[in-house]
Each structure stands twice: as C-alpha cells, then as structure tokens.
Copies of this chain bind each other. A is one copy, B any other.
C-alpha cells in the first residue's frame, strides 16, 4: 500500500536529479557533466557526497567517469548491460546449474529463431551468411582456429537475436552466453565432429530463416542447443 518514506539522504537526491535528466532526455548520450568541483557548488553539497552520487550513477550504467584533464563524467544513456550484469549476478548467486541454463536457453533460442525467421530482411541475411562463411573457414583451418570458430558461432547466435529487433531477447541471450562462457568454458566442445555438426545446424537454421519458415527455425534451434548442452553435460561428468 505505502512505500517506505523518503530517506533524506542528500546523495540520493542528487542521483535522482541527474538520472531524471538523463531518462527524460535533457542530458543526452555523450554529453559531459561539469567537473566535480563545479557540480558540488551547484548542488550545494560536499565533494564526498557528490562523489557517492556519481558512484551510484556509474553503477547504474548511466554515466562513465574518466580521469585526467578534460576528463569527468560523460552520459552513457541507458543500455542493456545492467540487465545482463544483474542477471549474471543472480545466476552466480542462485548457483544456477548448467542444466538450468541449458533448459532456459533451449526455449529462448527457439523463440528467437522463430521470430527472426519472420523478421529477417536482406541485410540481416547478408550479415548472417558472412558470419556463417567465416565460421566455416575457421573450422576448415584446423584445431588452431577452433577458438575463433566458437567465437564466430556465438556471434551468429547473437546476430540472430538482433534480428528479432527486441532488446529483451538480445540482452537476455547476451547475459546467458556470457555466463556460460565464463563459468562453464572448460566444458565447451573441442571435438571436430561435434563442431561440424554445429556448423551444419547453423547452415540449416539460417536457410530456414531465409525461407521465413518460423516453426522449422524453432525446431532446428531447439535441437541445436539441446545437443550442445547434452555434450557439455557429458564433459562435466567426465
């Protein structure tokens, strides 16, 4: 019913004023805030208090702070990084298992593929095919290029997510990929046979997207993630 009474913490007021200016567009991405010693005068607070406010804004991803002359706080706008970061923290804290991640990802990538198949335009397809061909090259160039292959493979997944034009799909997938990479890297497939299979999946998936066959795209994507995850699970047991 009621919210907690407003805490009269000075720095919080400073945070709100600046945040509001950014969210409402009075401050635009790239704009530079006055120097700390100026701002402290304008807000009539001490420098320490002002700095606590800036720390909070930085943590929210709204500003970026650089040192040196001509340094200072520049406005970053609002991006998806914070969603990814907080989701990542949640994953680590809740000790979300590889299996949980995989299960979620199967559904997510399926939905993404289905939507992408409906919305892909020529430009999307050009970029996807370029990535696909790059991945194929890396695969053909032998074991030394397998890391590049895996990186490119991830880029393909991300590009497909971008094709949905929906920032939610993009940032959630980003966060998931990042977390899998960071915490389960050692289980990633380093097996040539499997990588070839993965590559074949991608070829088929992109073909389905090009044909705007959304249910087929969903099916392929789900099967792809499922196989990939099963392999990782097997690695883990070893």
Residues of A within 8 A of B (CB): 11, 22-23, 48, 51-52, 55-56, 59-61, 77-80, 82-83, 85-87, 89-96, 100-101, 103-104, 106-108, 110-111, 114-115, 164, 166-169, 171-172
Determine the distance from Cα of A101 to Cα of B91 in the docked complex, in whole angstroms. Answer: 21
Chain B residues contacting A80 (CB-CB under 8 Å) are 90, 95
Contact indicator B60/A104 (Cβ below 8 Å): no
Determine the distance from Cα of A108 to Cα of B82 in the docked complex, in whole angstroms. Answer: 21
Pairs of residues from A and B, 8 with the lowest C-beta to C-beta distance, nearest first: A107-B111, A78-B93, A82-B86, A104-B168, A59-B59, A83-B86, A94-B167, A52-B55
Given contacts A90-B171, A94-B78, contact A166 B104 (CB under 8 A): yes
Contact indicator A89/B78 (Cβ below 8 Å): yes
Residue of B nearest to A94 (CB): B167
Contact indicator B60/A96 (Cβ below 8 Å): no
27 residue pairs A–B, Cβ–Cβ below 8 Å: A22-B93, A23-B89, A23-B92, A48-B48, A48-B51, A52-B55, A55-B56, A55-B59, A59-B59, A60-B86, A60-B89, A79-B95, A82-B90, A83-B83, A83-B90, A90-B167, A90-B171, A94-B167, A96-B167, A96-B168, A103-B164, A103-B166, A104-B111, A104-B166, A104-B172, A107-B107, A107-B108
A217 to chain B minimum Cβ distance, whole angstroms, is 13
Chain B residues contacting A164 (CB-CB under 8 Å) are 103
Determine the distance from Cα of A236 to Cα of B58 in the docked complex, in whole angstroms. Answer: 33
Determine the distance from Cα of A100 to Cα of B169 in the docked complex, in whole angstroms. Answer: 9
Determine the distance from Cα of A90 to Cα of B171 in the docked complex, in whole angstroms. Answer: 9
Residue of B nearest to A62 (CB): B89
Chain B residues contacting A100 (CB-CB under 8 Å) are 166-168
Determine the distance from Cα of A186 to Cα of B100 in the docked complex, in whole angstroms. Answer: 35
Residue of B nearest to A87 (CB): B83
A22 to chain B minimum Cβ distance, whole angstroms, is 8
Chain B residues contacting A95 (CB-CB under 8 Å) are 78-80, 167
Determine the distance from Cα of A106 to Cα of B100 in the docked complex, in whole angstroms. Answer: 20
Contact indicator A168/B93 (Cβ below 8 Å): no
